[in-house]
């Protein structure tokens, strides 16, 4: 799915944002998986995501050969939409040029789903983004964090990623990076075909 975008001079043609909460107490929690994915993209592309901009930490560079802006909203998860709306407006990008990466309780750990537009699915951060940008026509990369056993979901998503899962985190973040690069270079539909996957051993459809 090709989307034409108007850009400012040599500015970014994509905004790639991860959802999470700022502060050391939230580092490496399930709810900050979006931030971790942005960190991996930044590390691979040698981009520093440290510049305060539009209520976010941002960094510009090249992802998969294309100018892009990486961002981590610093407004806390449930208010992320305001920051991303400001960034899209500043760089004259339409919502279709936003790739949003975030944790998804409906998917098992290790699962990844690319989706173009649709509802927030109960994710408060995504609800904020839909409200902030004015519509739901942006690309989502959903990373599974569903617990193996029943849990208080609020406490769970704010807890540290389990040690056993940390062992697979590196490969998940690399896979996410490749999925984002595919969206940029090949389009949403082809990226969905190549990278949408369930966790190993998960049989149910998501």
User: Is position 200 within any domain?
Assistant: no
Predicted TM-score (pTM) of this structure: 0.91
Task: Quote the percentage of the chain above a pLDDT of 90.
Answer: 80
pLDDT digits (tens, 9 = 90+) for 161-172: 999 899 899 999
pLDDT digits (tens, 9 = 90+) for 46-65: 999 999 999 999 999 999 99
User: Is position 125 within any domain?
Assistant: yes
Q: How many domains does the chain have?
A: 1
3-state secondary structure of 78: helix
Quick check: 33 pLDDT over 50?
yes
The verdict on whether 31 is a catalytic residue reads: yes
Q: Would the CA dihedral through 102, 91, 65, 42 be positive or negative?
A: negative
Quick check: 1 pLDDT over 60?
no
Query: Which CATH number fits the domain that encloses residue 20?
Result: 3.40.50.1470
User: Is position 147 within any domain?
Assistant: yes
User: Is position 171 within any domain?
Assistant: yes
194 closest CA partner among 205, 183, 203, 204: 183
User: Is position 6 within any domain?
Assistant: no
pLDDT digits (tens, 9 = 90+) for 133-183: 999 999 999 999 998 876 788 899 999 999 989 989 999 999 999 999 999
User: Is position 5 within any domain?
Assistant: no
pLDDT band, residue 26 (cuts 50/70/90): very high
Q: What is the pLDDT of residue 7?
A: 40
Tokens linked to 72? 């981590």
What range does the domain containing 80 cover? 14-195
How is the beta sheet containing 66-73 ordered, strand by strand? Answer: 51-53, 56-63, 66-73, 14-18, 98-108, 139-146, 112-116
User: Is position 108 within any domain?
Assistant: yes
The Cα 142–Cα 140 span in angstroms is 6
Q: Which of 13, 17, 31, 100 is catalytic?
A: 31
User: Is position 202 within any domain?
Assistant: no
């Amino acid at each position: 799915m090709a989307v034409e975008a108007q850009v400012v001079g040599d500015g970014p043609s994509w905004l790639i944002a991860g959802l999470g909460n700022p502060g050391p107490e939230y580092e490496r929690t399930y709810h900050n998986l979006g931030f971790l994915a942005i960190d991996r993209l930044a590390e691979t592309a040698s981009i520093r995501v440290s510049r305060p901009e539009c209520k976010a930490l941002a960094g510009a560079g090249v992802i998969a050969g294309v100018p892009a802006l990486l961002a981590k909203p610093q407004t806390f998860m449930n208010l992320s939409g305001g920051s991303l709306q400001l960034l899209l407006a500043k760089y004259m990008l339409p919502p279709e040029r936003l790739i949003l990466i975030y944790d998804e309780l409906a998917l098992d750990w290790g699962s990844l789903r690319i989706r173009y537009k649709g509802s927030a699915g109960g994710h408060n951060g995504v609800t904020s983004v839909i409200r902030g940008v004015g519509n739901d026509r942006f690309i989502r990369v959903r990373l599974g964090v569903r617990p193996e056993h029943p849990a208080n979901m609020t406490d769970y998503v704010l807890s540290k990623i389990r040690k056993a899962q940390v062992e697979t985190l590196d490969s998940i973040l690399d896979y996410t990076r490749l999925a984002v690069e595919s969206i940029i270079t090949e389009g949403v539909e082809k990226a969905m075909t190549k990278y949408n996957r369930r966790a190993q051993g998960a049989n149910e459809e998501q």
